[in-house]
A and B are shown apart, each in its own frame.
Chain A
Amino acid sequence: MTKTPHILIVEDDTWLAEQFVRTLTNLKLRVETAPHALMAMDMIDTDPPAVLVLDVLLAGPNAFALLHELQSHSDLATIPVIICTNSADQLASEDIEAYGVRQVLDKTKMTPEDLVAAVKKALL
């Protein structure tokens, strides 16, 4: 049986993750969350998401460890990634270009509509 496409949010602030789920619910897609990169790796292995919304600074291994891991699997390397971080101003474009990141959202400036728009764009 084919699984429904879904969005995976990797965010260690559980309340912010909950807020993102609320925001994305209107897209009528399944939205799942992982509080850290290790759980995200397991979830992606089991059921690769259509879009990955990824915080950078996570408890344990950070987003780059997860992105490295994804890049090492040809079937997972193409998952569209939206980085959603408080440290957007500290991200060098050369650091993220290699990982095929579609968009970087700055948590301090973004609106709920920005997240919806970014996910819609990534799904195209």
Chain B
Amino acid sequence: MKAPLSLIRQLALSLELGGISSDSYERMVRQIVLVSERALRLTTDLSRTSRLEDSLFELEPLNPQQICEEVAHELAPLYKAKDREIRVSSRYRPILAVANKDLLRRILLNFGDNALHYADSSIPVELYAGIRNHGAKIRLGVRDYGPALPNDMWQRLKNTMGTHHQPLHTRPQSSGLGLYVAGQFAGAMNGSIGTVRHRDGATFYVDIMASRQLSLL
């Protein structure tokens, strides 16, 4: 939460100082709005985790591809403002998952927010849905492409980074709060979250139960 709030504060302080062109003024105000919305999403999610144990979330069969499309659509303005792109990988065979639509949406929004920060502007962030465990699970993932490391530099950096290396499961701008929230939401749907670190970015994913409805048709 520190990162978005610090940015909002810096922008607000500059606006207060004045002497800003009208173009910059409009851009800064827009940035404040978008960053505030991102911080609000996280705050709302966090308050929701505190009520998870008291609530029963309805699980229903839903189309994960459609959830991916909705999340990409919702994040598109923020991505565009940061000169980034988000897209959904196409899928030919339909799949169904058993999940709570709102919680699943929030998990992917969280991953999408996270990916935005680390994505390279030349390669779109990808949302995808696929089958795992021979059809028993559905995985929804967000793949970002960050700075690529040549092998020799990767090895050299691993050696030189010494005790200051960063844990693989968290991202530098994040305190892990977003992942905690996503993990809680996934757990409420009998699912789990995970991450794969690639040399040129990372994938954050959620595994949830697959619905057998399609196989009965």
Contacts and interface: CB of A to CB of B under 8 A. Distances in A.
B10 A14 contact: no
A64 B161 CA distance: 7
B118 A59 contact: yes
A65 B163 CA distance: 10
B2 A23 contact: no
B146 A60 contact: yes
Given A38-B147, A39-B147, A86-B2, A57 B14 contact: no
Contacts, number: 82
A22 interface: yes
How many interface residues does chain B have, given as a range?
Answer: 20 to 34
Nearest to A59: B118
A57 B166 contact: yes
Q: From DSSP, what is the main secondary structure of chain B's interface residues?
A: helix
A108 B9 contact: yes
B164 A65 contact: yes
Contacts of A23: 14
A62 interface: yes
B13 A12 contact: no
Contacts of A15: 7, 11, 31, 35, 82
A12 B118 contact: yes
B3 interface: yes
Nearest to B3: A86
B96 to A, nearest CB: 35
16 contacts: A12-B173, A13-B173, A14-B82, A15-B7, A15-B11, A16-B10, A38-B147, A59-B147, A59-B172, A60-B146, A62-B165, A62-B172, A64-B162, A108-B9, A112-B10, A112-B13
